[in-house]
Structure 1
Amino acid sequence: MADLFAETENPVEILPARKLAAKVAALYVAPFDHFETRPVEELRLGFDGIDGDFHAGATRRSGGREPWYPRGTEMRNERQLSIVAADELAIVAERMGLNEVKPEWIGANLVIEGVPQLSMLPSGTLLFFKGGVTIKVDAQNGPCRIAGRSVAEHAGMADHEAGALAFPKAAKRLRGLVAWVEKPGTIVAGEEISVRVPEQWIYRA
């Protein structure tokens, strides 16, 4: 049952932590020079992320998602991994009038099944993989035009620019999550995952 801090003028409702069971449906890695990924049977993870992956590194350069920094500022890399769900990508494809949107088209590293509304998992959620790896969710992965253009090209859309513009709207809150490695190791396809969702609340003060 939710806790309430009634002492304040604006009581804060706190939802308790919970555990979910999930499974690795597919794994992907990106070459060092491009964000699109290819399927693999395992991911070797260090504290810098996936070994050899396009998004590997302890730090990264800021871009359009960080307007508070000059573009290109070196900052902590909280986007080491991209996580998606097949059911959410199917909704995105339907909204765009496509037969499918494949995870590799948008640079996904992990497809996870068994978690309803995967993209809505809150920041701080921990993914404990049976083989020993732990990944920590940073935030939702905001859909961008670069990924949209990739979808349009691979899906054979006649107007690639229209597809690039359509994807951010169609994939809003359905594009999955970005995460970073808390405990390194190797993830294999079909591996079981214990998902630990932290306490949640809305800050209104």
Structure 2
Amino acid sequence: MTDQLALLPDDLRVTPKFKVSGRVDGLFATLSPEDFQTTARQVLELGLEGIPGDRHGGFTRKSGGREPWYPRGTEMCNERQISLLSPQELSLVAERMGIAGIRPEWIGGNFLISGIANLSKVPPRTRLVFEGGAVIRVDGDNVPCRIAGASIAAHYPDRDGLDLMFPKVARGVRGLVGFVEKPGTVEIGETMTAHIPEQWIYERA
């Protein structure tokens, strides 16, 4: 153990943990597991399986293109139960695409969170603690896909190529995915506190 500790660089930068607060501006869920686009709700009930009945709900999910290390369709834990979006980032992506706007529902969003700068850069292991007691644990940023791009394109039929443009311009600003750590009820207008964990860069030795 002593030898391993000796390998730690003296200048390793560690960012202490901290908290930052935001607000729930919108809540959404699919009407059935077959839907991609979500529908606005005033209240969401969160269980350990996510949002009951939502497309991305469930304790497990099937692997896909994001998990090339597994054969497609392998059952795995569902760390992508919840999709969280930022109105500022949606506006930025729309600007890059040259369109009037992007609604959270079009790309399958569940939560619209304001007040947290650079939401998509919130690190894994962050705990999102909602005023009513529910807690979502962040898994990481959501990689944009052509399916969401096609959904956006359907709302702008006079524009070509938006389906392919979205994955390119939305990378890094497409929001977060996470899973329910503590069940509870969330309502529009609630305060949410992001508990950012201690962070450091793990570099190649």
Range into which the TM-score falls when normalised by the shorter chain: over 0.9
In structure 2, the residue corresponding to 1:49 is in which secondary structure? coil
- Is the contact between residue 124 and residue 137 of structure 1 (CA under 8 Å) also seen in structure 2? yes
State how 1:114-193 maps to structure 2 within 5 Å: 114-159=115-160, 162-193=161-192
Structure 1 stretches lacking a partner, 5+ long: none
**Structure 1 residue 103: Cα displacement:** 0.5
What secondary structure does 1:154 align onto? coil
- Quote the offset at 1:157 in angstroms: 4.0
Structure-2 change in CA distance of 1:10 and 1:172 (3 Å): farther
CA deviation digits over 1:14-69, x for unaligned, max 9?
10001001110000001221121010001111100001101000000000000000
Q: 1:6 to 1:20 in 2, by over 3 A?
A: farther
Aligned to 1:195: 194
Alignment-mate amino acid for residue 42 of structure 1 = V
Q: CA deviation at 1:13?
A: 1.1
**Alpha-carbon distance change, 102 to 8 in structure 1, aligned in 2, over 3 angstroms:** same
Count of residues in correspondence between the two structures: 199
Structure 2 gaps of 5+ residues are: none
How many percent of aligned residue pairs carry the same amino acid? 50
Residue 72 of structure 1: SS of its match in structure 2? coil
Q: In the TM superposition, what are the counterparts of 1:1-205 in structure 2 within 5 Å?
A: 8-9=8-9, 11-31=11-31, 32-159=33-160, 162-204=161-203, 205=205
Give the whole-Å Cα distance in 2 for the aligned partners of 1:9 and 1:63.
38
**CA, structure 1 residues 194+157, in 2 after alignment: closer, same or farther (shift >3 Å)?**
same
Deviation at 1:89, TM superposition (A): 0.4
Return the alpha-carbon distance in structure 2 between the equivalents of residues 187 and 9 of structure 1. 43
Look up the equivalent residue of 2:126 and give its one-letter code.
T
Contact residue 80 and residue 179 of structure 1 kept, 8 A: yes
TM-score by length of 1: 0.93
| AA in 1 matched with 2:8 | T
> RMSD of aligned C-alpha atoms?
1.4
